[in-house]
Amino acid sequence: MTQTRSEASVEPPPLPPGATCVGLIPARAGSKRVPGKNSRILGGHPLIVYAITSALDSGVFDGVIASTDSPEIAKLAQTVGAEVPFLRPAEMAGDRSPDIEWIRHLLATLEGQGRAWDCYAILRPTSPFRRPETIRRAWAAFRADGRADSLRAIQPSREHPAKQWIVEGSRMRPVMSNPDPAGTPWHSMPYQALPPVYVQNASLEIARTAAPLRMGTISGTVIMPFLTEGLEGFDINGPDDWLLAEHHAREHPELLPAVRGES
């Protein structure tokens, strides 16, 4: 039975001094908004190559594993140094399949084969400007904290929830209200006067393997922030993002991880 920990529970025990971590590269074949994006060429290389390169060159991981349902992507991942111990089951590779399914399946299967780690990281190919030093900085922060279930990449939100609304018939109400009923409504205040808020990005996540294997969640309940810098948190979600990524790669190729074999 999956064990869960309540939101109000104590923090997990400290990470062991020599905590191990495995890097996971999710790369399913189906993508509706940017077809074939995980193997699409950006800056001279398939997108997935940058994720694998940054993971291997970070020196953080005891293994770098690609999870894909595609034999072609699997072969590409293996060519540049990632493991693909098996293909992801088709029922876990749909566009609405939650991450917890393939992560738990992969970690549990490998644990059953005698391979286990204290932690894992999710490194999505859609963040090509995440560099090895990004990963090293995040891992150092997670280990230094030592008591979080997970770490998640975030960045300042461009759109403040206090300026957003829920429509109910012919009326609407703010998503986020000023707790002081006598104060100025937050939706009528300048952005600079509002409490700072952050949005998660897809650059990286690090978590204890106990979260998916024992608690049934990829993040656990005690989550620490990791503030990305510059283009580290850039994520390719749609065609416009791809065009912008091509622009950045063309104008600033040094921002992409250096692929092995290149000077």
Same domain, residue pair 136 and 236: yes
Domain CATH code at residue 43: 3.90.550.10
Instruction: Tell me how far CA of residue 184 lies from CA of 22, 67, 166, in angstroms.
Output: 48, 50, 19
Q: Tell me, what's the pLDDT at 1?
A: 42
Residue 90: which of 100, 101, 79 has the closest Cα? 101
Q: Tell me, what's the pLDDT at 96?
A: 87
Q: Tell me, what's the pLDDT at 11?
A: 83
The number of angstroms, rounded, from the C-alpha of 80 to the middle of its chain's C-alpha atoms is 21
Same domain, residue pair 167 and 139: no
Same domain, residue pair 77 and 206: yes
Whether residue 9 is contained in a domain is answered as no
Same domain, residue pair 148 and 172: no
Instruction: Tell me how far CA of residue 74 lies from CA of 43, 69, 99, 143, 167, in angstroms.
Output: 21, 8, 18, 31, 45
Same domain, residue pair 79 and 118: yes
Same domain, residue pair 110 and 167: no
pTM of this structure = 0.91
User: Residues 236, 237, 238, 244: is their CA dihedral positive or negative?
Assistant: negative
Rounded average pLDDT per 10-residue block, the chain, 263 residues:
53 92 94 86 97 98 97 96 97 92 98 97 97 98 97 96 97 95 94 94 97 96 97 95 97 93 57
Q: How many domains does the chain have?
A: 2
Whether residue 262 is contained in a domain is answered as no
Q: How many of the other CB atoms lie within 10 Å of CB of 99?
A: 18
Tokens of 48: 């997935």
Residue 218: which of 232, 229, 204, 228 has the closest Cα? 204
Whether residue 5 is contained in a domain is answered as no
Same domain, residue pair 44 and 64: yes
Q: Tell me, what's the pLDDT at 162?
A: 96
Residue with tokens 């390719």: 236
User: Which structural domain, as residue segments, surrounds residue 181?
Assistant: 161-193
Using DSSP bridges, classify how beta strands 150-156 and 198-208 pair: parallel, antiparallel or unpaired: antiparallel
Same domain, residue pair 166 and 208: no
Q: Tell me, what's the pLDDT at 176?
A: 94
Same domain, residue pair 228 and 122: yes
Residue 207: which of 107, 93, 126, 105 has the closest Cα? 107
Q: Tell me, what's the pLDDT at 4?
A: 55
Q: Tell me, what's the pLDDT at 6?
A: 55
Same domain, residue pair 38 and 109: yes
